[in-house]
Amino acid sequence: MKINLFSFEWFPFLTAVILHDRISWSIRLRWLAVIGFFSATLVSKYSLGLVVPYEIIWLLLAGLALINFIYYLIAKLFKEFTFISELIVLHVHIFFDLLFLTFIVHFSGGIENPIFLFYAFHVVISSIIFPGLIPLFFTTLVVLLFGSLIYLEYSGIIPHYNLFHTALHKNIIAISLIYFVFIVTVYVTAYICSTFMQIYRDIKKKIDLQNQQKTQFFHFTSHELKSPIIAIKSSLDGIIKNYAGQIDERGLNVLVRASKRSGQMIEILKELLELSKNRGLTKKEEGQLYDLNEILREVVNQDLAQAEAKNISVRCAISDQPAYMLGIRDDIKRVFVNLLSNAIRYTADDGRIDVSSHQEDGKLIITFNDTGIGISEKDLPNIFTEFYRSENAKKVVSFGTGLGLSLVKQIVENYQGTIEVSSQENQGSKFTLTLPLYLGTK
């Protein structure tokens, strides 16, 4: 059986967006490493009096900084990489980091300088991110690079730069012991990290399978219940319409309430179907490009009449700059509709709702801020939980599914976005969406 090591199933905790963020993080960390090591050389030269070829080390640091700047430009100009492309870039990052570290270790004292322990950082990173034999490859590369450096300095093929004016690099027993401990350390580190990550991957697969089975049950049950309830409601509505005059008032009220409850049940089943459809999906790689700001303006215009009926002022500060996302248009529209309709529903007459959007670091940040009933401190942690409704919401609207915000969170996370809420009871609520944008050419 052919195994694709770049398949998503091998990376259950990673997506292209997350990898891109990790690469951006590693770029920032590399700037700190360059500045930190340069500062350390200044201290060692002017305060400690250690003699090593500082000019060469500084040249290496400048080269590393230049490569890091190239990484930075690529990350800024070409943000929409595929998952495989991000993995390849990460491989290149680690490989060149190890080469530069080897040269820096050589020119700063070789085996005498304990900075060779920094090799372990890359072993840990590769073991956490990569599955299978890839961590073993990088660990072996580390062992070969450091071993080659020790041998070349010991044999005199390349010069050794004495850091403490000792002949440690010529002491075969000492360097053998240090190298042996180094090998054991990096391989054991790689084994421990890889083993734990494999356990996590296996657990993630089991959880995904259970979620899939739960989703299938939700979908089947909701679909099967929907048809008979629609038939019941249609029958009740038919009786009310055609025989209302022949039924006494109490009986008619019972039928009207039954029809209303049937309609509410149908809405619950519709939301359950939507929830089951969206649960467990990853970011949509198919679909079309659409402008999030355009959809947001469309939703606001559609709901203006509902807000005006309650004399609610809706103020918009939606960015004119296009904000493109790749995926299914109705998904995000459903999110906007849900959040805005909730704001209108739970804001009293003569209240205010502010809707805004702006771009920041390749993401669109959207806020819905209202002067409504707010959410109590005890209810706030649970508002995205399925079927949960806050106490003050029940007082305003007696019947609701408690699925709307759960569905919103599901969709937003499918697109690797985030949703946050800040609120106080009787002081309004603020929902903040952060959605990654498509930054390629349209």
Q: What is the CATH number of the domain that holds 335?
A: 3.30.565.10
Residue 19 and residue 155 share a domain: yes
Residue 158, domain member (yes or no): yes
Give how far the C-alpha of residue 160 lies from the chain's centroid of Cα atoms, to the nearest Å. Answer: 46
Any domain includes 12: yes
Residue 281: pLDDT above 50? no
Tell whether the model's pLDDT for residue 244 goes beyond 80.
no
Residue 189 within a domain? no
- Domain-terminating residue out of 170, 192, 227: 170
The answer to whether residues 165 and 299 belong to one domain is: no
Average pLDDT of the segment spanning 335-341: 88
Give the sheet arrangement for strand 313-317, strand by strand.
313-317, 352-360, 363-370, 429-436, 418-423
Structure confidence at residue 397 (pLDDT): 62
Q: pLDDT, tens digit, for every residue of 103-129?
A: 999 998 889 888 899 999 889 888 887
Domain encompassing residue 314? 288-436
162 and 293 co-located in one domain:
no
Same domain, 301 and 431: yes
| Domain's final residue, options 116, 151, 170 | 170
- Around Cβ 184, how many Cβ atoms within 10 Å? 10
What is the total count of domains within the chain? 2
Residue 52 within a domain: yes
155: pLDDT confidence band, cut at 50, 70 and 90? very high
- Residue 386 tokens read as 């399925």
Computed over its alpha carbons, how large is the radius of gyration of the chain? Answer: 31
Q: Is residue 83 part of a domain?
A: yes
pTM to 2 decimal places: 0.56
With respect to residue 69, please indicate whether it lies within any of the assigned structural domains.
yes
More confident: 220 or 363: 363
Q: Is residue 206 part of a domain?
A: no
**Which residue, of 145, 170, 195, is where some domain finishes?**
170
Residue 262 lies in a domain: no
Measured CA distances, 350 to 177, 309, 313, 364, 369 (Å) = 79, 10, 7, 29, 15
151 and 299 in one domain?
Answer: no
